[in-house]
Amino acid sequence: MFRNLVAIAIPFVLCAPLAAQSAAPSDPQIAHIAGVIDITAAKQALAKSHNAKVRAFATEMVRDHQAVNDQALALVKKLGVTPEANPTSKALSDAAATKITAYAKLSGTAFDKAYVDNEVAYHKTVNGALSGTLIPSAQNAELKSLLQTGLKLFQEHQMHAEHLAKTLG
Amino acid sequence: MRARFALLAVLAVGASAPAIGAPARSTNHVVIVDQMTFRTTALVVAPGDTVTWVNNDIFEHSATARDHSFDLELKPKSRASVTLRKPGVLAFYCRYHPGMKGIITVRR
């Protein structure tokens, strides 16, 4: 399921503020991996859920996150960088894979609740990282703008997930 | 000759004077949508005016009236319009991203 993940690196000049943190991932790498993870989770929801509102939410996740990923890929292509994996992106992928495996054993309302609750938690985590670390650290103007737009989008997703979680009880 | 001149004069006046009861020209108001934002969130329009949402964003949005009077799909890089005829205040939002919202006041 994750064999098509594309890890993205940016040139040293763009990640200079993060250079001191040798384990820190590049900004587009985090944004892209986070988006891919949510697309994978959404596709699992579309395969398993029969709840119209959960399916509508998952469809929105696929559509919106794909748009961000396409923009991120276009940016790194424009910058002429080569994708590369790193410990943090691997940790994110591994954690997501564990969730996907666990949720595969669920069905019906149990799956719906687990998926949506995780979406709330996931978006809170990503939004915290974007606003607290990644956006302030980004030096490339286009990258910063993409991250800022991504934050607005993910904040909307978080609100949508929270509202949906309340309706699922 | 005099009659022909008089006829031409009447036609000239008729062509230049506005017809009685003709509607005022309508205006097209544009709302740009990009970076998850309606760039205009408060519009004042006259009855018969048109509002056009132009989606310059990479995301799909909608312009949806809270009172269900219009619901426009806005695919990325597309536009859609509605003509508003009834005076009043209309709240609109994006169905996919409800934090995006605005108000249209329709008044003479």
Model confidence over A95-125: pLDDT tens digits? Answer: 889 999 999 999 999 999 999 999 999 899 8
Distance between CA A78 and CA B87 in Å, rounded?
49
B100 contact residues in A (CB cutoff 8 A): 156
- Closest residue on chain B to A64 (Cα): B59
Q: Which of A57, A60, A70 to mutate to test the interface with B (most CBs of B within 10 A)?
A: A60
Interface of B with A in 41-70 (CB under 8 A): 58-60
Judged on CB neighbours under 10 Å (0-12, 13-18, 19+), A129 is middle
Beta carbons of B98 and A148 less than 8 Å apart: no
Selecting from B36, B58, B60 the residue whose C-beta is nearest the C-beta of A156 gives B36
- Find the chain A residues whose C-beta atoms sit closer than 8 A to any C-beta of B: 60, 63-64, 67-68, 70-71, 145, 148-149, 152-153, 155-156, 159-160
| CB proximity list for A93: less than 8 A, separation 6 or greater | A2, A5, A33, A37
pLDDT score for A61: 95
Tell me the three state secondary structure of residue A107: coil
Maximum Cα interatomic distance, chain A, rounded to a whole number of Å = 49
Give residue A81's pLDDT.
72
ipTM of the complex: 0.74
Q: Dihedral of CA A115/A120/A126/A129: which sign?
A: negative
Chain-chain contact of B36 with A149 (C-beta, under 8 angstroms): yes
- Has this prediction a pTM greater than 0.80? no
Q: Which residues of chain A have pLDDT under 50?
A: 1-23
Neighbours of B37 (CB within 10 A): 17
Verify whether the Cβ–Cβ distance B35 to A148 is below 8 Å.
yes
pLDDT class for B18, splitting at 50, 70, 90?
A: very low
> Per-residue confidence at B49, pLDDT binned at 50, 70, 90?
very high
Report the relative pairing of strands B42-45 and B101-106 from DSSP bridges. parallel
Q: Of A79-83, B6-10, B52-56, B70-74, which gets the smallest average pLDDT? A: B6-10
Among chain B residues, the shortest Cα distance to A145 is held by B35
The pair of three-digit structure tokens given for residue B91, joined into one six-digit string? 């709240």
Question: Are the CB atoms for A39 and A100 separated by under 8 Å?
Answer: no
How many other CB atoms sit within 10 Å of the CB of residue A11?
14
pLDDT, tens digit, 9 for 90 and up, residues B81-95: 999 999 999 999 999
Residue B30 pLDDT > 60, yes or no?
Answer: yes
Which residues does chain B have within 8 Å of residue A148's beta carbon, measured at their own beta carbons?
35
Cβ–Cβ gap A159/B60 under 8 Å: no
